[in-house]
Structure 1
Amino acid sequence: MTLSQYDVADLGLAPAGVRRVEWAERAMPALSSINERFARSRPLDGLRISACMHVTAETANLLRVLRSGGAEVMLAASNPLSTQDDTAAALVAEYGMRVYARSGIDAATYDRNLATVLSQRPHLLLDDGCDLVNTAYHTGAELLEHTMGGCEQTTTGVIRLRQMSAEGVLQLPMVAVNDTATKRMFDNRYGTGQSTIDGIMRATNALLSGRTLVVAGFGYCGRGLAERARGMGARVVVTEVDPVKALDAVMQGYTVLPMAEAARVGDVFVTVTGNRDVIRAEHLADLKDGAVLANAGHFDVEIDLAALDDLAVEIRPDVRPQADEYVLADGRRIVLVSEGRLVNLGAAEGHPAAVMDMSFAVQALTVEWLAQQHEQLSPGVLDVPTEIDTEVASLELAALQVHIDELTAEQRDYLSSWDA
């Protein structure tokens, strides 16, 4: 493999990356089971896959499965702060993939890497936040002339794709992997809940017990975060714009406030909305001394960083790893974690491998389904077939040695009859 076929920080890190990937693999039994089948049946033979994903050990194991299935894989990072340089090196040196990812790259390099993985004229896309699809449509739709379809694994990306579809510009079938039951319940709820707190703790070493943690957004990710914060002894305040989600938070025992009121009482703030400017200048002006700001949404737009810069008379970078301190004119200090980017991947290691096992098992089986069924699919945002979600849950239960009941013939008849 020549230099032009990859761009990673240091191939010498590959042995450490292999150890990291193999450690994650131990906690990914469903994906390992799919890998064994793919290696035998080769359902992806001859297909080129371009991926824009977080370059982590868990992602590496997904890509290894696709490679076992016969695919040629090219990967660009979906977030500069989440890239594990040792994992990127291992993917190139040990697993023979073309990877364009280095931790901490600038925006121009990020965009160039996306264009590079698209230049192979992919048959299938794996996207994270719709960046790959957006890049293709803004730089030349001919890059996708061979593309059968793809998968999107984030809430933000699915929102973007649905808007593209509504405006008639999405010319591909894109599967909303994010919207499956296993992804929403386990990845978004349990994964984001645990890994977000992990990131905040690593960056700040703050004690959450007895402090007020504000969760902006009460979707699946917000619910998981609120549950874990309450379990650690925090007083949890929820902010919402959706009356149904706000009512759900109230019924679960959380305090629900507008952000204008929450800003005055919170000690730690975490945005999990998928929208921009959730914490704005008027909120920043009311924060307590020492308030911590973190984002667990996809892009770094949920906290108004320009307003924070304007308010600060001094910025102290890296007061701790992944924590910058902004000093205001009256002496108050505000701590921003991971530059306002994804805190669970910037300051920690993302979701536990056991959680990503389910999400990436769904992803692998959906890629296989797309390869087989693409000629029957229409452009737009599609749901993952229910049988794929069910199969992944069954694989996980088998790995956990958990057994469940099966419907009897009489029960199946009863459920399928209107006059029983």
Structure 2
Amino acid sequence: METFERARLDAYFDRIAFLFAPTECPASLLITHLLPERPAFVRGVAAMTEVRAVLPKPKSVHTEALRRVEGDGHVCDKLSRELFADPERAVRYLDTRAAGRPIVLFDVGGYFAPSIEALCARFSGRILGVVEDTENGHRRYSDLVDPPCPIISVARSPLKDPEDFLVGQSIVFSTEALMRGRGDILHGRTAFVIGFGKLGSSIARLLHAQGVRVTVYDIDPVRRTQALAQGFTVARDREAGLGEAGLVLCATGALALRGEDFPRLRNGAYVATVTSSEDELELTGLPNVYERAHIGEHVTRYVTTGHYFYLLNGGNAVNFLHGAGVGPFIFLVQAELLAASAAIARGDLGPGMHETRPADRAAIATTWLDYFNR
């Protein structure tokens, strides 16, 4: 980013912090993608909370962004699903970082969900609540039978709609870029989009606009009817769609392909995802008769007798290979995350799932327009 762009972004987050800063400053743990623009967001979080640790998402760490965040004095710890899958380990970790403190947990993908009950019950401080960014994480927290603390999700916020559309665009761009690196193109292939939520529907529309034949599948029958109404072919089931597609795009945020699904892929099919391989693909269940070979930058061929397919970026989100940029629209969502943390810090929310207030969203949108609609 240019110096003047950084200055404007810092001024924007200063304004957001002024609008929403809580009366008392809690501690925080911050899980985040560490992309080039992200240090300004981390500074915004630090203006409203005492950041005890930043946990960068493993597949989206930009070296310069990491250097700048650490240069601002923040501890950056290694993030994994295993860290918070074991409640005992999760409690010990929080006690090393924020013992005795009231704390807000910033999440991206439901990392804290498996241990949140233990954290609320046994952490030496107090879990004020969780702020969740993604649809994948939203579902993980929604699946909790009795959430022990407030959880504010921005995954379905209208302020996130521009990001979802532009992320879909970046997924299509990066997928085609990797294919073109092998001399292949999108045209002439049928694309199979698994998942017709906000991201999946965006991907399907963008592929269709480029003249690609698109088939859709979603486990939700309501979404399947929506896909039909928008003119897409809808597969009867996942297996039927896999056998016909030259490109499979997984956009469920959960588990799109199980081990037994891979042998059903059409020969020479490409597989790409919008999130991490550990969430979207059961690669460990792939029959061990398949051999792997890296045949191009970020392209892996899986081959066995009579069958082969290509996996892009190791099954991780392809758009992070090209920056995953969505322009200044990401700052709408980041500001809502800050507003959500302030709402949790106020302490007037009960346990369970919540959204930010419409008035707060309107204030964020107005502020964003002042800074970025120029």
Q: Normalised by the shorter chain, which TM-score bucket?
A: 0.7 to 0.9
Taking a change above 3 Å as real, the CA distance of residues 193 and 100 of structure 1, as seen in their structure-2 partners, is: same
* CA–CA distance in structure 2, aligned partners of residues 24 and 233 of structure 1: 36
Taking a change above 3 Å as real, the CA distance of residues 301 and 70 of structure 1, as seen in their structure-2 partners, is: closer
Q: Does 1:172 align with 2:149?
A: yes
Q: Does 1:51 align with 2:6?
A: no
Corresponding residue for 2:41? 62
Match of 1:342 among 317, 339, 361: 317
**Contact 2:90 2:119 survives alignment (8 Å):** no
Match of 1:398 among 355, 370, 373: 370
For residues 136-175 of structure 1, the aligned pairs below 5 Å read 136-137=116-117, 141-143=121-123, 145-164=125-144, 167-168=145-146, 170-175=147-152
CA-based RMSD of the aligned residues comes to: 3.1
The Cα of 1:134 is off from its aligned counterpart by 2.8
Higher percent of residues as strand: 2
Taking a change above 3 Å as real, the CA distance of residues 329 and 292 of structure 1, as seen in their structure-2 partners, is: same
* CA–CA distance in structure 2, aligned partners of residues 110 and 163 of structure 1: 17
* CA–CA distance in structure 1, aligned partners of residues 11 and 356 of structure 2: 20
Higher mean Cα deviation, 197-206 or 255-264?
197-206
Corresponding residue for 1:327? 303
**Contact 2:113 2:140 survives alignment (8 Å):** no
Corresponding residue for 1:195? 170
Cα displacement string for residues 340-380 of structure 1 (whole angstroms, at most 9, x for unaligned residues): 233333x3322423231111011112222222x21x21111
Percent of residue pairs bearing the same amino acid type: 20
**Contact 2:91 2:122 survives alignment (8 Å):** no
* CA–CA distance in structure 1, aligned partners of residues 210 and 289 of structure 2: 32
Taking a change above 3 Å as real, the CA distance of residues 222 and 335 of structure 1, as seen in their structure-2 partners, is: same
Corresponding residue for 1:359? 333
Corresponding residue for 2:223? 245
**Contact 2:257 2:281 survives alignment (8 Å):** yes
Match of 2:109 among 125, 129, 147: 129
Query: TM-score, normalising length from structure 1?
Result: 0.77
Taking a change above 3 Å as real, the CA distance of residues 24 and 379 of structure 1, as seen in their structure-2 partners, is: farther
**Contact 2:52 2:97 survives alignment (8 Å):** no
Cα displacement string for residues 302-330 of structure 1 (whole angstroms, at most 9, x for unaligned residues): 33313434341x210x3223221101211
- Structure 1: 5+ residue runs without aligned partners? 1-18, 403-420
Matched residue type, 1:63:
V
Taking a change above 3 Å as real, the CA distance of residues 216 and 380 of structure 1, as seen in their structure-2 partners, is: same
* CA–CA distance in structure 2, aligned partners of residues 295 and 36 of structure 1: 36
Greater CA radius of gyration, 1 or 2? 1
Q: Does 1:120 align with 2:72?
A: no
**Contact 2:301 2:310 survives alignment (8 Å):** yes
Higher mean Cα deviation, 295-304 or 226-235?
295-304
Q: Does 1:92 align with 2:70?
A: yes
**Contact 2:195 2:251 survives alignment (8 Å):** yes
The Cα of 1:401 is off from its aligned counterpart by 4.3
**Contact 2:196 2:218 survives alignment (8 Å):** yes
The Cα of 1:118 is off from its aligned counterpart by 6.1
Taking a change above 3 Å as real, the CA distance of residues 215 and 365 of structure 1, as seen in their structure-2 partners, is: same
Taking a change above 3 Å as real, the CA distance of residues 140 and 323 of structure 1, as seen in their structure-2 partners, is: farther
The Cα of 1:397 is off from its aligned counterpart by 3.4
The Cα of 1:151 is off from its aligned counterpart by 0.3
**Contact 1:215 1:222 survives alignment (8 Å):** yes
* CA–CA distance in structure 1, aligned partners of residues 56 and 91 of structure 2: 8
Report the 3-state secondary structure (helix = DSSP H, G, I; strand = E; otherwise coil) of the residue aligned with 1:265.
coil
Report the 3-state secondary structure (helix = DSSP H, G, I; strand = E; otherwise coil) of the residue aligned with 1:262.
helix
Q: Does 1:83 align with 2:57?
A: no
* CA–CA distance in structure 2, aligned partners of residues 398 and 387 of structure 1: 17
Taking a change above 3 Å as real, the CA distance of residues 118 and 249 of structure 1, as seen in their structure-2 partners, is: farther
